[in-house]
Amino acid sequence: MKKAYIFIAILFFGCKEEKVLFDQSDIEVPKVFKLSPDNSWDFLRNELSPIRDLILKDSLLIINKIFPGPFYYSVYNIRTAEKLVEFGVQGQGPEELPDYSNANLNSKNADILEIIVPNAGGAIYSVDLKSLRNKDVTLNKVAELGYNPSNFAHVDSIYVIDFGNRFDVVDRFGNHIESAIDYPFEKETALPEKLWNLTHQGLMKKRPMDNRIVFASMYGPNIDLMEYSEHLTSLLKIHVREPKVFDNSGKLASGDAELVGVTVSDKNEMAFIDVEVTNSFIYLLYSGRSYEKDGDDALLGNSVYVLDWDGNFLALLSLEKNTRVISVNQSDEILIALDEEKETTNLLGYKLPDFDSPR
């Protein structure tokens, strides 16, 4: 197996860029914790659609599904296992979602769930969590960006959106606050330009208490820690790991220009397949598998890397079971994950360690 190389570039404003190169198969962390589940729930056994995401807020567990059945979202009380409500039936009308979506808790109000539908012109909806608890859901459209971004972070009154090869900053009507931000920060990365669009497709989450944003790639694996301030997105820290195997899919004619298409090979190892954040930590679920060797299980993993918001690796959590999605409560006490090794959907709860404790 080829050794992977990780470049860490730490940027200090006004200072010379410092680069450290170290050689290892996996990301080096100071502590490793092997975790076995402390709790197991089977109340999701009737959820037939594959689960896209889990969002845990107090006693509420919000299930985001890939396909409607007929609803995209189901809400449970994790303490009582009661199914409270479903919402987001597929459609074009009021209280309906036109396609699958991504969801985050609002950066200023954690009792508001924000939902973006990437393939519907970047339509963004909000849901009051109180309405979920009361089983009376109101789905409000709050923005329509006019684009099809893959991810977004809501910062104050604007949206930082990810197009896969660059960031942009827009208001809720899609108007540019600033010109498109080159991504992944051309001067700070050694990756060839033709790989940008693929190595920088991934997941983006914002720290609830301030304007820091983490972006983790599915194909790099690259981790970018950014901060948005006064219409300027600054790169605070970047971890770049050289991508493994890419294929040249041929040249495409485009007017007078010649484009070279680059595709991910089946041999390419998947990187970060889910991201969860709290005010204290960043949790990155890592795969390290390939479609050639593992098929659809390439989107599974049991390694969760924990970073602080300065971009430092703190620990590796080795989960007993493979999963494709994780969620963490805001007090960093419990991590929940799907048990992907059973035929029915089973939910596991892992008690999180003190990351300052000995190994």
33 located within any domain: yes
Q: Note whether 315 and 306 are within 8 A (CB).
A: yes
pLDDT of residue 21 exceeding 50: no
Strands 4-10 and 232-241: antiparallel
359 located within any domain: no
346 located within any domain: yes
Residue 33's nearest CA partner among 302, 343, 312, 328 is 302
**Number of domains the chain contains:** 1
357 located within any domain: no
Contacts of 158 (CB under 8 A, 6+ apart): 169, 170, 171, 172, 177
**pLDDT tens-digit profile of 57-86?**
989 999 999 988 889 999 999 999 999 999
Among 11-15, 207-211, 284-288, the minimum mean pLDDT is found in 11-15
Give the separation between CA 131 and CA 206, rounded to whole angstroms: 24
22 located within any domain: yes
Q: Note whether 249 and 263 are within 8 A (CB).
A: yes
Number of residues that make up the chain: 359
191: containing domain: 4-351
pLDDT given for residue 290 in this prediction: 82
358 located within any domain: no
Among 10-19, 45-54, 225-234, the minimum mean pLDDT is found in 10-19
* DSSP one-letter string for 166-191: EEEEE-TTS-BSSSPEETT-GGG--S
**pLDDT tens-digit profile of 307-351?**
999 988 999 999 999 999 999 998 999 999 998 776 667 899 999
Q: CATH number for the domain including 284?
A: 2.120.10.30
298 located within any domain: yes
Radius of gyration of the chain (CA): 20
21 located within any domain: yes
Calculate the CA dihedral of residues 25, 189, 298, 49 and round it to 10 degrees.
Answer: 140
- Give 303's pLDDT tier (boundaries 50, 70, 90): very high
Residue 310's nearest CA partner among 37, 10, 84 is 10
Distance of CA 50 to the CA centre of its chain: 17
pLDDT of residue 281 exceeding 70: yes
Contacts of 29 (CB under 8 A, 6+ apart): 305, 306, 313, 314, 315, 316
Residue 116's nearest CA partner among 76, 179, 160, 83 is 160
- Give 244's pLDDT tier (boundaries 50, 70, 90): low
Cα-based angle 106, 68, 303 (whole degrees, multiple of 5)? 60
Q: Note whether 173 and 125 are within 8 A (CB).
A: no
